[in-house]
Amino acid sequence: MAVIRDVMPALDLLQPATAAEAQRLLADIGPGAWVMAGGLDSFDWLKDRIKKPTVLVDLSGIDELRGIRESNGGLEIGAMTTLTEIASHQNVKKNFSLLAEAVSVVASPQIRNQGTLGGNVAQDVRCWYYRGGWPCYRAGGNTCYADTPVGRNREHAIFGASRCIAVNPSDSAPALIALDAKFVILGSKGERVIDAEEFFVGPEHEITRIHILQPGDLLTAIRIPATWSGAKFYFEKVRDRNVWDFPLMNVASAIKFSGDKIEDIRIAVNAASPKPMRLKNVEAAVRGKAASEATGAMAGKLAVEGAIPLQFNAYKIPLMRNLVKRAISGVKEATWA
């Protein structure tokens, strides 16, 4: 399929100075608006001429959307705060190191210097058929080209497929879910706050979107409550290369102990499903148990129940099983068998 690349379509550029102004512009423009944060995902789409918005709303001039602030023992992070700033922030590293570790493995240092937390959680899927301009389900067509006998689906979903089998690519998303983060959204009716796991949607809900933001909505901040401050954290990302690559799969866990027993836990994985998965069945199964290798092994087996591999991604089942195992038991050896 021939695609004209590297020449962006003509569009209007608007650069609001406040979050309220940005929200009003987005509401007035409607579906034709494109929100640009760090610009990394945006320019890929625009240069390839796959997405053709009429107006680009650039958030880079809105200072109130940047920065990390203490809030009720937790943190509030502006959606335009760069990943580098988050990874190096002393409070994040001390109390919520799970997030610092997750954002520190996004892409490359150059991209982390420009990329933002809001952009990382809101970026679109990376299926090459969709990104290449093929008329798939997600693009408004009537076929999933990856889910065919000759489709290339090594990076795609083993859970939650519903016409589209592309996975969410965010590294920060499972960490934010494990930390019970809250997303602050400014809309036409004012501000609303939702749980991190409710921000993401799968294709069974809305196949053309990966999050709940609608025209006129603006993600302004992410709040991390004090609840999980200082817990035992685990994050691991598996990818083909140590820099640049999106996850083949990642896992994030936060555990509180009572003695040597798991008192409470939150655990999530990404790149296993079209949206980040919180593993509530695993959480329930390991509460009250020691964080041993046996508990981890049991949890790993439970985590992959119901997985449906595609032609080229059956490796994701043992990968997920062992990532979950290590996220609970802390065993570091990479035993995928």
**Per-residue pLDDT at 327 exceeds 60:** yes
Mean pLDDT, range 96-120, rounded to an integer: 97
Is the distance from CB of 267 to CB of 178 less than 8 angstroms?
yes
User: Confidence class of residue 4 from pLDDT cuts 50, 70 and 90?
Assistant: low
Q: Which residues pair with 69 in a beta bridge?
A: 76
- Given this model, what pLDDT does residue 334 score? 41
Any domain includes 199: no
Q: Determine the residue type at 128.
A: W
**Per-residue pLDDT at 336 exceeds 60:** no
Mean pLDDT, range 178-193, rounded to an integer: 98
pTM of the model: 0.95
Can you tell me which residue has the tokens 């919180």?
278
**Per-residue pLDDT at 335 exceeds 60:** no
Any domain includes 295: yes
List phi, psi (to 5°) of 104.
Answer: -75, -15
Q: Lowest mean pLDDT: which of 106-110, 243-247, 280-284, 299-303?
A: 243-247
Nearest of 118, 278, 93, 106 to residue 183 by alpha carbon = 118
Any domain includes 94: no
**Per-residue pLDDT at 337 exceeds 70:** no
**Per-residue pLDDT at 332 exceeds 70:** no
Mean pLDDT, range 3-24, rounded to an integer: 86
Residue 142 in tokens: 């009537």
Any domain includes 112: no
- In terms of phi and psi (left: phi > 0; alpha: psi -120 to 50; beta: otherwise), the region of 230 is left
Nearest of 281, 311, 137 to residue 209 by alpha carbon = 137
Any domain includes 119: no
Any domain includes 128: no
List phi, psi (to 5°) of 110.
Answer: -65, -40
Is the distance from CB of 172 to CB of 99 less than 8 angstroms?
yes
* Structural domain boundaries enclosing 253: 231-329
* Per-residue pLDDT reduced to its tens digit, 195-253: 999 999 999 999 999 999 999 999 999 999 999 999 999 999 999 998 889 999 999 99
Contacts of 331 (CB under 8 A, 6+ apart): 293, 296, 325
**Is residue 261 helix, strand or coil?**
strand
Q: Lowest mean pLDDT: which of 35-49, 121-135, 184-198, 266-280?
A: 35-49
Can you tell me which residue has the tokens 């996850």?
247
Mean pLDDT, range 138-167, rounded to an integer: 96
* Per-residue pLDDT reduced to its tens digit, 307-318: 999 999 999 999
CATH number at residue 28: 3.30.43.10
- Given this model, what pLDDT does residue 243 score? 83
User: Rg of the chain over CA atoms, in angstroms?
Assistant: 20
**Mean pLDDT across the chain:** 94
- Given this model, what pLDDT does residue 333 score? 44
Instruction: Choose the final residue of a domain: 21, 43, 59.
Output: 59
Any domain includes 188: no
CATH number at residue 262: 3.30.390.50
Q: Which residues pair with 253 in a beta bridge?
A: 234, 267
- Given this model, what pLDDT does residue 48 score? 74
Any domain includes 300: yes
Count: domains in the chain? 2
Can you tell me which residue has the tokens 């760069």?
82
Mean pLDDT, range 101-115, rounded to an integer: 96
- Given this model, what pLDDT does residue 5 score? 59
